[in-house]
Structure 1
Amino acid sequence: MKATTAGARMTIVAVTPPSVPRLRLEPTGSRRTLLDGAWWPRSTDPVAELPGLVLAIDQIRGPVTRLVLAAGGWDSHPRRLSVHGRVLRLGYFTSQPRGLLTAICDRNERVDLLVVAPDTASSTADAAMILAATTTNLVHAQNIILAVTAPAHRTAVNNAPEDAWETDGGRLGSVPAQRPVPEPAGC
């Protein structure tokens, strides 16, 4: 028999009403996508942020029964959370990528969401959420922020045309001088 602590059995109840989540979901509902969308919480407090997200997912995919979260990035790690009259189980794992949240719904359906850090610039967050909710997205959650910021970073670093040419496969160096083309005789 496994010993449990009182803290692990305690259900946390949010004292404030659920917030409206900043959530973007893949529009077709396809189950063949890498990610189902993205969520941009306003803080790293799971008690304040998760109830609104859970209620939004409930409306689209059915009741959420469990959430799998990354161990890092949250202020606390409650194991049970009361949401709209039911108890939701929360699991925090070091093996879960930091930018990924998995919601398990009633019929064992998964909803995999990119979690955009609360302090992310709005333009970056918006671009990341759009990419995560794109049906053809092939970028994993932990790489999306880098994917949407990398081109801007490369442009800032490589602002000289020669540098851009070199990174695109061209070559730097001297170009051989062209010989003048002789004019046709008899002109």
Structure 2
Amino acid sequence: MFTAAQRATVIPPEPPTQPRLSLTAERATRAVLDGGWWPRSRDPVAELPGLILALNERYGPIRQLMLNSDSWDGRFRRLAVGTRVVRAGWFSTVDPAMLIATTERGDQIDLLVVPFDVPADTADIAMATAADPGNQLRAPAVLAASRTEPTAARG
């Protein structure tokens, strides 16, 4: 259940940061993921505005996000980003390694969420794999593979 404060539209107190994001060059019908995102923290108010602005620029206005309810240090129903308000849904059933964004047109964008505290080389491998239009792995498998891939294999 959400408190009155959580139901209110959240206005981020700081300007959005540039997201660490890797997206497919073009939407591939066979790809499982549309890209990968590596937030800097578990604070959704600090992390999501920059991501939303980047996704708006690439895919058009984002209407809604769905995130795992246990992976973030706070929840809210609505987030003000620029001149728009984006709805957020928090679900225990959404994989912690996923973020699902929906555009105003109804397009779904599936992003790998790389845990903020993983090493940079692991995050780089995971985001590159998630943004590969030929990738057939789901988000948890991408993370598992990126954690075990030797650094020398990146070339």
Residue ranges of structure 1 left out of the alignment (5+ in a row): 153-187
2:126 aligned residue: 128
* In structure 2, C-alpha distance between the alignment counterparts of 1:124 and 1:8, rounded to whole Å: 34
| Contact 2:20–2:37, Cα closer than 8 Å, also in 1 | yes
- 1:78-134 deviation line (CA, Å, top 9, x unaligned): 111111022111001011000000000011001100000111100000000000000
**Alignment RMSD (CA, Å):** 1.5
- 1:157-185 deviation line (CA, Å, top 9, x unaligned): xxxxxxxxxxxxxxxxxxxxxxxxxxxxx
The worse-fitting range, judged by mean Cα deviation, of 24-33 and 69-78 is: 24-33
> Does the C-alpha gap of structure 1 residues 54 and 31 become closer, same or farther in structure 2, counting only changes over 3 Å?
farther
* In structure 1, C-alpha distance between the alignment counterparts of 2:19 and 2:99, rounded to whole Å: 14
1:170 aligned residue: none
2:31 partner amino acid: T
1:73 aligned residue: 71
CA deviation after TM superposition for structure 1 residue 4, in Å: 7.5
* In structure 2, C-alpha distance between the alignment counterparts of 1:126 and 1:12, rounded to whole Å: 31
Paired residue total: 150
* Runs of 4+ residues deviating >3 angstroms: none
1:93 partner amino acid: F
1:117 aligned residue: 115
Q: Given the two structures, how large is their TM-score scaled by the length of structure 2?
A: 0.91
Other structure's SS at 1:127 match: helix
Query: Residue 82 in 1 paired to residue 80 in 2?
Result: yes
Identical counterparts, % of pairs: 43
* In structure 1, C-alpha distance between the alignment counterparts of 2:72 and 2:15, rounded to whole Å: 19
1:93 aligned residue: 91
1:176 aligned residue: none
Q: Given the two structures, how large is their TM-score scaled by the length of structure 1?
A: 0.76
| Contact 2:30–2:134, Cα closer than 8 Å, also in 1 | no
* In structure 1, C-alpha distance between the alignment counterparts of 2:95 and 2:136, rounded to whole Å: 16
| Contact 2:97–2:139, Cα closer than 8 Å, also in 1 | yes
* In structure 2, C-alpha distance between the alignment counterparts of 1:145 and 1:54, rounded to whole Å: 22
1:7 aligned residue: 5
* In structure 1, C-alpha distance between the alignment counterparts of 2:123 and 2:69, rounded to whole Å: 21
| Contact 2:7–2:76, Cα closer than 8 Å, also in 1 | no
* In structure 2, C-alpha distance between the alignment counterparts of 1:103 and 1:41, rounded to whole Å: 15
- Equivalent residues in 2 for 1:19-38 (5 A)? 19-38=17-36
